[in-house]
Amino acid sequence: MIVDLVQSVLQGEWAQVRQLLFKHWLVQVPQVFEINEDIPWDNTGVKEKLLGPSGQLLFSPIVSAFLLDVRNTKSDLGGMNEIAGVDPSKTGKICGHVFKNEEETYTCLDCATDKTCVMCLPCFKMRSSSGSGCCDCGDVEAWLEGYACANHKKKDDDETFTLAPELKKRSEQLIEIILHFALSMLTHNDDLKLPDFFEKLEIESSTDNQQCLTMLYKNETHSYESVLKVLELYCTKDQAMFVETIVDREGRSAVKLGNKTDCTRAKDDHHLPRSVKVMDTTLFAFQNFSISLLTWLNNQMDVFPPLREIVGEVLLNSNFPLKKKYLQKVVLEDSKDDGDVRNEIDANEEAEIFNSVTTIVEQQESTIENSSFTMLENILLQDTQIWTAGRCVLHQLLMRTVFMIHDQKVRFAKAFMKHYNEIYEDFIKDDHEIYESVVQLSVQFMTVPSLARKLIAEDDAFSVISKAICVQTDKYAKCKILFDDHWELKLIFSVNVDEKIARFHFTSRSFPADLRRSLQIARDLDYILNAVPSETDWTRELIDGFVSGFADFLVFVQRLQGMDEVQLRAVEHQNWESEWETAFNILIRLKNAISLSISWAETNEEVHNRVLLMCLELMNNMPPVYTKADDDSKEVTITVNGESCKISHFDVLKSATSIHQPVVRIIAGLFTAQNHTMFLMRNEHGNKLQEQIKTILITNEDTNLYELSLRVLVLCAQSNASLCRRNGFSLENQIHNYFSPFWRSEMFDRDILMMQVGAAMTPPLKFIIHLLQRFGLDKWATIEFEQDEATAAQIKPESKEISKTMVTIAEEFFQCLILILCERYAHGVGKTNSIDRVKREVIHILCTGSHTFSQIQQKVSNDINAKRVSLHDVVNQVADFREPLSTSAGQFHCKESSLPFYSPFFMHYSKSDQLAAEQSQARANLNKNIRACSPPVLPDFLPFFEQIPMLLKSGILIHVFRIVIDRTTRRSRFSSDRLFHKVLYLIGIALNEEEKCSSFGFTQKAEQSVGLLALLEGLIGKPESSICPILL
C-alpha cells in the first residue's frame, strides 16, 4: 500500500492518493479506536494505542507521501526540513503558543498595546521588561517596545522559507486531502452512516448487526445533578460523574453500546437530558480519528515551520461544500412610508412586523450545498454544529496557521466580517460559552491596529458590527410613532429617527439570556476601536468608514436614550419594583466603545464635526420629554431679584425623567476636542459642517444642550431630599449605579461635563436662573420667600418638613455649581494631564483613610481615553507606605504635601466618603477643623470653557450668597451649616480666581451689590459660623 501511495503521489494522481489513504484508514481506524463494550466512555486504551505502533501505522503513510519514502516508519515530518533545506532553529517569528483553558498568561502594563496582548511563561521569562488566545511574543504591533524574547526576535540572518514548486504542490495536495477528510467527518450530519465518499471504496460491510452508540452531548440547559440522576441508570455514581466530566470537557461521551434498536430505546425510555443521539460506532471512531489527525497536523507545524503557510493557504483557498442551511437576508423597503425605512428579515425565522412599518414577507429558507465556500468559511459557519473537542482543535489550527502570517490574517479577517452576522446568529442560538465558540477569535485580528483600521476603511467593519448588534436586539426595541399629536406603542424592527423613537423595553424579563449573548458583539466594538488613530493615520476611506459605522452605532445607542423613565410618586407607593438592571448591563458593555468613539473623533476635525452634527440632529428629532405632564414645554418667565428670563417649563417632580441619556453624554464628550469646537465661540463664518452645527444650536433654545443632564442631576437631588421614598428600590438602585465607579465615567462625569459646556455657552444670568428653576429654588432664592412660608406654616404644619427638603435641594444646587467650577481635571476641560487627574483622585481616596493598593485600584475611575498612567507610580508620589502588621495588610497614607489638593466637595465623594474624609483628617490632627479648609488653587480652564468662572460674578448668584448668609445669621430654618459652608467655599473659589487675575472683579461687584464683606465680618466669632470659622 505504501509503495502504491508514493507512486501515485509521484505521478500526481491525487484521486488515487485519496482513495488509498481512505481505504487504509477504513481498515485501521476501527481497530485503533475500538470501543470498550463494558465502559464505552473510557478511551484510555485508545490513547495508549495512538502512542504505540498502531498510532504510527495511522500516520506513517501520510509522512511517507510527504517524504516520497517507501521505507519510512516515522510519524512526524522532521525529514521534510532536510528535503526543503530549512533550518528550524532560525526563528524570529511570532511565538503562537496556543493557551489551554485556565492556563496562566503574562503581560507588561508598560509595553503592551492593550490588555489582550499576552505572553506565555517561557517567552516572558526571556524578555527584558520593566513590567485567551495565543502568545503574542514576536508580534511588533502587540507591544510598544521589547516586542520579542531572545527566541522570537528577528535576526539579520533569518531566512525566508521558499519551498521548491514541486514540494509545495505536493504538500498542498496532501494537506487538502487531510483537511477535507477531517472536515467531512466533523461536519457529517447523518449519524448512522459514513460519508458518501466511503461508498465509492467498494468495501464490504453488513448492516444486519450494525453496532451503535447512545451519545450524550453537552448543553447548558440542564443541571449537573439532573444529568447524574439519569446516568446512574447505566452505571455507578462514580462512573456517572466521570462521564459528566468527559461531556463537559470534550462536548460528548458514549453512554451505551449495542444495536440500533437497543440504543434508540435507551435514548427514548429514560428521557435523557441534554442532546442525545444514536451513532454508528464506525462513524464515531472516524470522528475521533479526525480530531487526532488535526492534532497531529498542529504538532507538525513546530517540526516543519513552512507547513503553517501551506495549511493557511489551503484553508483560505480550497473549497468545501457547506452542509447547513445558510440564512439568506431579505431586504425590503416599506412602500407605505416615504421615509427610508429598511427592514432586514431572517430568511428562516418568522418576524412579526406591523403593516404600518413593513410589508409582510413569507418565511424563506434555502439550503446551499455547493463548493462556493472555502474550508475557512465552513469552519466559521458550522462552528456550532460541532462538539467542543472538534471546535477546539479547529480553533487551534487557525491560531497556528492564518494568525501567524499577516497576509493570511488579513484574509481571515475579511472572511470573518463577510459572514459576521451569520456567525453571531449561530452563537446566540447556541448554548456553549464564548471561549468554546469561533467568535472568540475576533480578538486575534481586531486588536491589531493596522488591520482594524483597514477593516473599517475597506470592509465597513464598524458598520457591520453595529448593524449586527442592532439586528440581534431588534425584538426588544419598542417604538413610539407620532400620529396626530398622540403616541401609539408599536413593535418594529428598524427605525427612521425622523419619525420614530425606538427604546428598549424590558418590563417582562430582566436581561434575557439571548440578549446577554447578543451583547458579546460589544466586545468587538471595543477591539476594533481600541487603537485610536493619530492625525496622520486618517485617510478618506477611513473617515467615511468610521462615520458610517458611527451612524449605525448611534442607532443602537439611541435605544437607551430615555429608557426606564421615572415619575416621582407623591401620593401612593409603587405597587411593584420596576425593571432597571438591563439598561445598566447594556451600558457597561457599551461604555468603552462610546469613549473610544469620542477619542477617534477628537483626532480628525471632519470626523468630529460630522459626528457632532449627527448627534445634534438626532437629539433635535427626538422629543426632550417622552412622557409629558400637562404644563410641560410651556414657556414661563422666571424673575429673581429683579432679573428675569424666559425658560420652558419642566417640573421633575411631576414629569417623567430618565437617568439614561447616552446620546447627550456623547455630545458632551465631543466638546472636549478643543481644536474642533472653538468655532462655536467665534463669530467667523465656518465651513459647511460648522455652519450646520451652529444653525441647530441657534434655532433651539440655548439651554436645551444641557437640559437633560440637568434633569438627571435634579432627580438625584430630589432623591437625596427623600422625595422618592414611594418609588421603591428601583430608582434608588439606579441612582446608586449612576455614581458607581463602574458607570460614572459615562454617566455622572459626562453630565457634569455637559453642565460645564452649558455654562460656557449660556449667558450667566440665564444659566443660574435655569438651574434655580429646575431645582425648584426660584422662589426660595427671593427675600420674600420666608414671609410667604411663615404664613403657609400657620395653615400647614407639615411645612417644617418642606423646609428640610428645600434646604437639602439647595445644598445640591450649590454642590452642582461647585462641581461646574472645580472639576477642571477632566480630559479637554482644564490645562491638566492624565497624571494630574489620577493624582487628584488618589489623594481624595486616601483622604478618607488608609488604603491598600488593591482598594485604591477598585475606587479609581477607569478612563479608557486616558493616556497610560502607572497607578503604582502615582500612589508612590502622593502617599507613604506603611509596612504590614501581623493583623493588617500594608497600607498607603496620604502625604502632608498632598493635602492642599483636598476638597471636601470632591465630585466622586458619596456622603459616607465625605464624612470619612473629615473624620480621618480630624483624627490625624492635621487640621482641627478640616471641613473649613480653603479651596485649592485650581488650574485654568482651556479656552472653550474659560467663561465658566464668570458665573461667580453673576449678580443673581451674589444675591443668592447674600440670602444664604443672611438666613444663617438669623438661624433660619431655610438654611443649614452645610449650605453656609458651600457658599463660603464658592466665595473662596472666586477669591482664588481674583488672585490669579486681578481684573476678575468679584470683590468689587460683591461689595457694590450686597456689601458681602460686611455680612461675612458680622458672622466672625458667632456660633452660627462654628462650622467653618477658619474658612470664614
Contact 650, 774 (CB under 8 A): yes
- When pLDDT is averaged across residues 777-788 and rounded to a whole number, the result is 80
- Which regions of the chain carry the CATH code 2.10.110.30? 91-158
Contact 140, 474 (CB under 8 A): no
The answer, yes or no, to whether residue 44 has pLDDT greater than 90, is: no
- When pLDDT is averaged across residues 721-725 and rounded to a whole number, the result is 80
Please name the helix (run of DSSP H) or strand (run of DSSP E) that holds residue 646, with its range, or none.
strand 643-648
Q: How far apart are CA 216 and CA 256, in angstroms?
A: 10
Task: Name residue, grid cell 471595543.
Answer: 526
pLDDT at 466: 95
Q: In angstroms, what CA-CA distances link 859 with 838, 846, 848, 852, 904? A: 11, 10, 12, 11, 17
With a pLDDT cut of 90, the percent of the chain lying above it is 32
Per-residue pLDDT band for 485 (boundaries 50, 70, 90) equals very low
Query: For 866, phi and psi rounded to 5 degrees?
Result: -65, 145
Per-residue pLDDT band for 361 (boundaries 50, 70, 90) equals very low
Identity of the residue numbered 679 = F
Per-residue pLDDT band for 359 (boundaries 50, 70, 90) equals very low
Closest CA to 823 of 942, 648, 699: 942
pLDDT at 364: 38
Contact 419, 380 (CB under 8 A): yes
- When pLDDT is averaged across residues 168-192 and rounded to a whole number, the result is 92
pLDDT at 716: 92
Assigned C-alpha cell, 598: 469620542
Please name the helix (run of DSSP H) or strand (run of DSSP E) that holds residue 11, with its range, or none.
helix 2-11
Q: Which residues pair with 881 in a beta bridge?
A: 892
Contact 601, 529 (CB under 8 A): no
pLDDT at 489: 35
Least confident of 52-66, 209-223, 344-358, 790-804: 344-358
Q: How far apart are CA 346 and CA 331, in angstroms?
A: 9
Q: How many CB atoms lie within 10 A of CB 161?
A: 18
Q: In angstroms, what CA-CA distances link 481 with 333, 478, 615, 758, 973? A: 18, 10, 20, 30, 48
pLDDT at 86: 80
Name the residue with higher pLDDT: 330 or 586.
Answer: 586
Q: In angstroms, what CA-CA distances link 13 with 16, 19, 45, 468? A: 5, 10, 36, 45
Q: How far apart are CA 879 and CA 843, in angstroms?
A: 8
Dump pLDDT digits (tens) for 2-43.
888 988 988 889 999 999 999 999 889 998 998 888 888 888
Q: How many CB atoms lie within 10 A of CB 75?
A: 18
- When pLDDT is averaged across residues 276-302 and rounded to a whole number, the result is 91
pLDDT at 255: 85
Task: Name residue, grid cell 520593566.
Answer: 130
pLDDT at 1030: 58
Name the residue with higher pLDDT: 567 or 424.
Answer: 424
Tally the C-alpha atoms within 13 A of residue 524's C-alpha that lie toward its C-beta: 32
With a pLDDT cut of 70, the percent of the chain lying above it is 78
**How far from the centroid of its chain's Cα atoms is residue 712's Cα?**
24
Highest average pLDDT, of 691-700, 786-795, 873-882, comes from 873-882
Q: Which CATH class is domain 91-158?
A: mainly beta
Query: For 639, phi and psi rounded to 5 degrees?
Result: -120, 125
Highest average pLDDT, of 253-267, 388-402, 566-580, 693-707, comes from 388-402
Per-residue pLDDT band for 589 (boundaries 50, 70, 90) equals very high
* Helix pair 165-186, 14-32: axis angle to 10 deg: 50
The answer, yes or no, to whether residue 481 has pLDDT greater than 50, is: no
Dump pLDDT digits (tens) for 376-427.
999 999 999 999 999 999 999 999 999 988 999 999 999 999 999 999 999 9
pLDDT at 482: 37
Q: How far apart are CA 869 and CA 418, in angstroms?
A: 38
Q: Buried (b) or exposed (e) across 27-40, using 16+ Cβ within 10 A?
A: ebbbebbebeeeeb
Per-residue pLDDT band for 539 (boundaries 50, 70, 90) equals very high
Contact 598, 670 (CB under 8 A): yes
Q: In angstroms, what CA-CA distances link 809 with 563, 713, 772, 804, 911? A: 25, 11, 10, 9, 14
Dump pLDDT digits (tens) for 96-143.
666 666 667 776 666 666 666 776 777 765 544 333 456 666 666 665
Task: Name residue, grid cell 439571548.
Answer: 514
Q: Is 805 exposed, middle or buried (0-12, 13-18, 19+ CB in 10 A)?
A: middle
CA distance between the termini of the chain: 101
Dump pLDDT digits (tens) for 847-868.
988 899 998 988 887 776 555 6
The answer, yes or no, to whether residue 493 has pLDDT greater than 60, is: no
